[in-house]
Structure 1
Amino acid sequence: MRFSFTPEQDEFRTSLRRALEARSPTKEVRRLMATEQGFDREGWKKLNQEMGLTAVHIPEAYGGAGFGCGELGIVLEEMGRSLLCAPFFSTAVLAATAILNAGTEEQKKALLPKIASGDVTATFAFSEDSGLNDAASVATTAIASGGSYKLDGTKSFVLDGHTADLIVVLARKPGSKGEEGLSFFTVDGTAAGLERRLLKTMDETRKLARLTFKGVEAKLLGAEGKAAAPFAKTLQQVIVCLANEMVGGAERLREDALAYVQMRMQFGRALASFQTMKHKAADMLVDVELAKSAAYYAAAALDESDPEVPMLASLAKASASEAYLQTAIHAVQMHGGIGFTWDNDTHLWFKRAKSSEILFGDANQHRETMMQNWGAGT
């Protein structure tokens, strides 16, 4: 297993950062987050045509670039740094990963090329009103109807669920419990009986929706009743990806806060020369670097099919959650009174840090999961 990036990966990061800095300045972030869609579809298509980002980890056999989680982590880290307002996480991470893990060969060939090209946006709907992310909490039902299925129930906190062209849904056979009877299904975003409502959230840069299914026609994805294992695998991959995105945002906050206190003068001295600022800067550096190490290691473990992935994924998410939020708190304090005003950009990353902290489970939950899986791969 490698513990450093290759020159090619470093070059990829540099070019990607340059492109995202040009496409996602905070002025553009503020414009897009104020819209209901949350992104510009033409800009999204152009981004994928020029850089092929949604194709990064999709195998070449399905129209992708065939890279691994390490490269996908770089993309997400840079997107977290720039707060790119686009359905990348929902499409390339959530939906594409679920299809790769659960779909048949024919289904992958039919669905993934359009995702890889950026022509189709997608998402994965599994959490419900309880906000839990486990298989046992799934109550949405799927009833066989001729050659297809009918879905009934609700899904909440669905990333970009109000705009997705394709929705992968986790549902169960009526009467089944726990991990039994769970299946994946695909639903068209404009299907009859599907109601999509945008939720009001603190972090406007990441849109969440509530979906209501009333006899919605759906197609089975993969094997019926066998979704428990691919769902667990998908969640592990997703939280590793989220951890990499979070460390990108934390690093941006750290750099911006340090630049501000080096520039700002008080009593004839730069704020950075005061001991309390030095302490905060040091704490931020340690927190962010440790979180990076956990996120990078987990991504490498995914690429190596390490048996300890379940434990490492939760470690990465717990570390990134705490580092991102604590860095955001320090950044606000280092900016002083202006740090919590609307005109200052710090609050954009602060809100993303808070929303990401609880997305797919908070640090406490993942510490418990990590201990449950400790040594499971040995």
Structure 2
Amino acid sequence: MEFLFTDWLGTPVWFWAAFITIVIALTAFDLGILHKEDKELGIGESLKLSVFYIGVALLFGAWVWVERGASAGMEYYTGFFIEKALSIDNVFVISLIFTYFAIPAKYQYRALLWGIMAVIVLRGLMIAGGAALLAEAYWVLYLFAAFLIVTGIKMFFAGDEPMDVGKNPVIRWISKHMRVTKELHDQHFFVKVPDSKTGKLVTAATPLFLALVVINLADLVFALDSVPAIFAITTDTFIVYTSNIFAILGLRALYFALAAMVHRFHYLKYALAAVLVFIGSKIFVTDFLLDGGKLPAWVSLGVTFGLIAVGVLYSLWKTRGAEEPNWPAGPEGATPAEAVANGTKGG
């Protein structure tokens, strides 16, 4: 039992054990009980699940607040709100990906689940790497801060052109070096199909697997913003990781509630840009103008929450009555799966 009270990455092991237990329990309950069968998730159920996940995340933050103090609690909530707001951009990109590959809604939930499982691992590796860098060289935090400021400025002036899924180099590489079927096979990522030359059964990827790959690549791009952002708020690895993961865990439920109305959050990106610039600038202000002093945690939380709230409310008001955009599917009228699988081995 003494082992549970030893520190790992600056936090007692039992804190980590409690967090991991909650994540495993939520995932098992979601996949094993709520969604044993593939089905389309309605907006009503999606909203209820989103409220549930957000409630669990907020309760976890309250526990952190009680056990580790108000400062740690506010840092957790700040990181959670930033990641949750950034996830709305994730929803837009994920919608584009599922549209391109013509993935039916009833299979999207399971693809999102496995994508999020991969994200938990990938974010863990990125956060561990960032923590190790900061432990060896504090000046790396200035690079993170500068990156956030530049990213925020670029986001503010960026256009609204959607990403072109078909030009993704990883998709092109997979299509050339792996067997890919031209159609979906229910919820399966890999299936056995006859080889076009020998007739023997061989393993082939499905378009659902390609969608999963692109979703995880997109998250890596988003992590380049969110991970430095939370490190600019706190260097406590436990707070960084748990706030990120709790925000991501509810993403698959939130996706179905927001996918049909993500165009209503058009102006949120400007609020997020301001948040990134604020957080990045805070590092330079506190270290050089305040002689290493810290802004109170409630200031960071208040500014972050205020900017995001204004961005959401202004977007909803400004885009009232706006129609959902017609996002592109596959090129030249072909189904996305056929377009991507064209020219691959077998299938």
TM-score (norm 2): 0.30
Q: Which has the higher helix share?
A: 2
Query: RCO greater where, 1 or 2, for CA within 8 Å and sep 6 or more?
Result: 2
Q: Which has the higher strand share?
A: 1
TM-score (norm 1): 0.28
